[in-house]
A and B are shown apart, each in its own frame.
Chain A
Amino acid sequence: MYNTEIKTIRTSANISNIRQATSKQGKVTMKKRGKMTMKKIGLLALSAMFLMSGTAFAAGKEVVNYWSRHGSSDVAIMQKMVGEFNASHPGIDVKLQFLTWGGAYYGKVRSSILAGNPPQIFDVAAYAPPMFRNNVESFSAEELAKLGINLSNFVPSAWKAVEYKGRYYGTVNAILPLGLYYNTDMFKKAGLDPSKPPRNLKEFLEYAKKLTVDTNGDGKIDQWGFMLRNNFVPTPWIWESILVQSGGSILNKDLTKATFNTKAGIDALNLMLNFSRKYKIAPSTLADTTTAFVAKKVAMVISGPWDIAGYKGKKMAFGTAPMPQFGTQKPAAWSSLDIYFFPKGLRKDAKKWKATMTFAAWAAGPGGGKYYAQMFLPSLLSVLNGPVMKDPYMSGFAREATSGGIYFPQAHKAMQEIYAAIWSNLQGAFAGKMTAEEALSLAEEQTNRILAR
């Protein structure tokens, strides 16, 4: 069809040229102009053909819309991941869209589900499953195996976190535990061995004291051993980790009552307050630890693997290690997950479902695993125990995850609100406006009100 059109155009252009050629005046100019016009028309026709064929080509693909809450340095890595998948799967076009992380992200996803136009995939954190359980597709272990996801190949606790009454809600790609970041240059200067980061409270305090230095001799500390972040991420989770290390939990097993206002909870908070007040290894205020770590104002911080790519980008000398055991009973570090959810009803569209699950299985497997390994800990054991364990930055987190030193948030649909209630009261304690007992007492009251709703 396109060829016929070109011929028609060419013919009319030629007639025009012949007519112009019969004219004595401007004979040569007209000929040139005619040729130019022909070329332009030909190019336009070819471009149109190319574009139309391109559209037809894209139209033949099954489009999978994927919303992600990730940002910052993860964006480029995730785009590469999706790019590789699209290139290796000509029949599928995964369209990745980044939305701002936070509570509002879940609001947008909820709105899209309510409006009947959700993406085929949206990723969520570990505490989100109870919020969406009624609105997403679930799988039996056999169904997952048929899709190429054999659960025995993955970190069991990660999949356990999305399991409810024998069914798995979503697919788990990665684990995001809290761990210790430390500046290896500062360790060396303080006479500490960077290959032996602190593992418990005693070692941690000993290291932190050596790393708390007045570098310019003006009588003021300008390099702190440790610092806590002035943010919801991850300070309340550090407190919870210490609580869990001492055998406590935020809620009871039935998820009906707050159980953190106990000796374990109060001791955990007092310890965090005493890093500054008693041990003098941290500044008296919470601060932006990410910037302070880059600016070399602090030697050790606790955060998740999401900071690694950013620090690597700054070409910093740093190492990572499992979160030290500050509590009395066991190692435990709060951990999130990267979970893919698929809105309920997606199965009805067989083609869309197949394309979506092809991508989801690929992302959870070695294909996506090598990209997730650059950002977080892939939940696939072969990747986790292989390249990730050898990665100098990821290995600290990987050791923690494979040794059972991590746990996931309790599965209550108001967990985000409960964390916010706890965090606001912890802030009061850190600002010196209330004692640890008062802060946790208020947080307990607020949590129980939320649970009673």
Chain B
Amino acid sequence: MTIPDSGENPRMALAAAARKGGMAWFAGKKASPYLFLLPFMIIYVVLILYPIFQGLYVSLTDWDMMNPVKPFVGLKNFEYLFFGDPLFWNSVKVTLQYIFTNVPIKVVLGLALALIFNQKLPGMAFHRGALFLPFVINIAAVGILFQWILDPEVGLLNYYLSMLGLPPQKWLVDPTWTMDLVVLVTIWWSIAFNVIVFLAGLQDIPEELYEAARIDGANAWHRFWNVTLPCLRGSMMFVVVMQIIGSFQAFGNIYMLTGGGPNNATNVLMVHLYKTGFFYFQMGPAAAIGVIIFIIVMALTIAVLAMFRKQVEY
């Protein structure tokens, strides 16, 4: 496109030229916001929207990576998961077990630690930093580290137990223990995230509210229950939603530590999805697991958001 050199404002010239070329809309101010959004929209469509719909499509096909023909099979992959897959229901059970232990502990403990770290005590900055340190360790390293610590024969933990005269434990070898250990390791690794969110929430609560409560004769428990907790509603909602989503998506911490074992005791849905898709090359059922996780997470998130919908005003 050639812009005529008429001596007028170049922007005007561009607009005029665009109008002549039928691009009035793009040249006008209306297009600007969309142009600013365009880079994000491209990334969003390519990396988020397309994979979602592609995943949904794969879940409805007999998707063999090596075969260019992908026959449509309707809901057969879901039928296979519900009635044919020997491990699907075990994975659902194990995932729920993980969520119902991991989420409450991490929320309650995260809040408790945040309350402690919110105190003006000496060395608190150091302790906050120390608490956050495990969170920056790569999860693969965490998994390998705890495999060594928890090995029944050559692990550090059993070594120290034996020094105390206590019998060695089977730790990661016994299905009874393994999920609890996975949750403990996960808490050690990632509790700092919740603490920081709660800490930020606590520091946003106006001191006047506590002063008013004290004047009204509220003791520490009353202040916590009637001031702190309601004021943390936003942080609490964020933490609970993030923990539920994160627990459904839990993979690295479990896969690196136990690989889903022993005896499938930690074979959560994401681990099962990974193995089904990338170990056993059953892409259709793997995508169907992904769709199921998506639906469950969405339903739970809506439920949690509804629970916290009530506004608090002071």
Which of A's residues lie within 8 Å of B, judged by CB?
Answer: 102-104, 106-107, 110-111, 113-114, 131, 134-135, 220, 227, 230, 232, 283-288, 291-292, 295, 297-298, 414, 416-417, 420-421, 423-425, 427-428, 430-433, 445-446, 449-450, 452-453
A110 to B84, CA, bound (A): 25
Q: Is the CB of B281 within 8 A of A283?
A: no
A103-B279, A104-B279 known; A297 vs B65 contact (CB < 8 Å) = no
* A453-B80 contact given A288-B153, A424-B261, CB 8 Å threshold: yes
Chain A hits for B85, CB < 8 A: 449
The 8 A CB mask of B169-207 against A (1 = contact, 0 = none) is 010111110000000000000000000000000000000
With A445-B86, A453-B84 known as contacts, the answer to whether A288 contacts B175 (CB < 8 A) is: no
Which residue of the partner chain, among A111, A424, A433, A446, contacts B65 with CB atoms under 8 Å? A111
Binding site for A on B (CB under 8 A): 65-66, 80, 84-87, 147-148, 151-154, 162, 168, 170, 172-176, 259-264, 267, 275, 277-282
Q: In the complex, what residues of B have CB within 8 A of residue A298's CB?
A: 153
Which residues from chain A contact B280 at a C-beta distance below 8 Å? 103, 414, 416-417
Main DSSP-derived SS at the B contact region = loop
Please measure, in the bound complex, the distance between the C-alpha atom of A445 and the C-alpha atom of B84, giving whole angstroms.
11
Residue of A whose beta carbon sits closest to that of B263:
A428
Docked complex Cα distance between A272 and B296 (Å)? 42
Contact of A424 (CB < 8 Å), options: B84, B263, B277, B278 = B263
Question: Is B66 in contact with A114, judged by CB distance below 8 angstroms?
Answer: yes
Q: Using Cβ atoms and an 8 Å threshold, which residues of chain B touch A134? A: 66
In the complex, are the beta carbons of B281 and A131 less than 8 A apart? yes
Q: Tell me the complex Cα distance, A220–B153, Å.
A: 13
How long is the Cα–Cα vector from A450 to B65 in the complex, in angstroms?
18
Q: Which chain A residues lie closer than 8 Å to B84 at the CB level?
A: 449, 452-453
Complex Cα distance A107/B280, Å? Answer: 9
Closest to B178 in A: A431
Q: Given the complex, which residues of B lie within 8 Å of A104, measured CB to CB?
A: 278-279
Question: Please, which residues of chain A bring their CB within 8 A of the CB of B267?
Answer: 424
Q: Is the CB of A287 within 8 A of B154?
A: yes
Chain A residues within 8 Å of B174, by CB: 285, 431-433
Q: What is the CB-to-nearest-CB distance from B70 to chain A, in angstroms, rounded to a whole number?
A: 11
Q: In the assembly, what is the distance between CA of A421 and CA of B267, in Å?
A: 12
- Asked if B170 and A285 make an inter-chain contact with CB atoms under 8 angstroms apart, the answer reads yes
Is there contact, CB below 8 Å, between A420 and B279?
yes
B142 → chain A closest CB, angstroms = 17
Q: Given known contacts A427-B261, A431-B175, what 7 new A-B pairs fall within 8 Å (CB)?
A: A103-B280, A104-B279, A230-B152, A287-B152, A287-B173, A424-B263, A430-B173
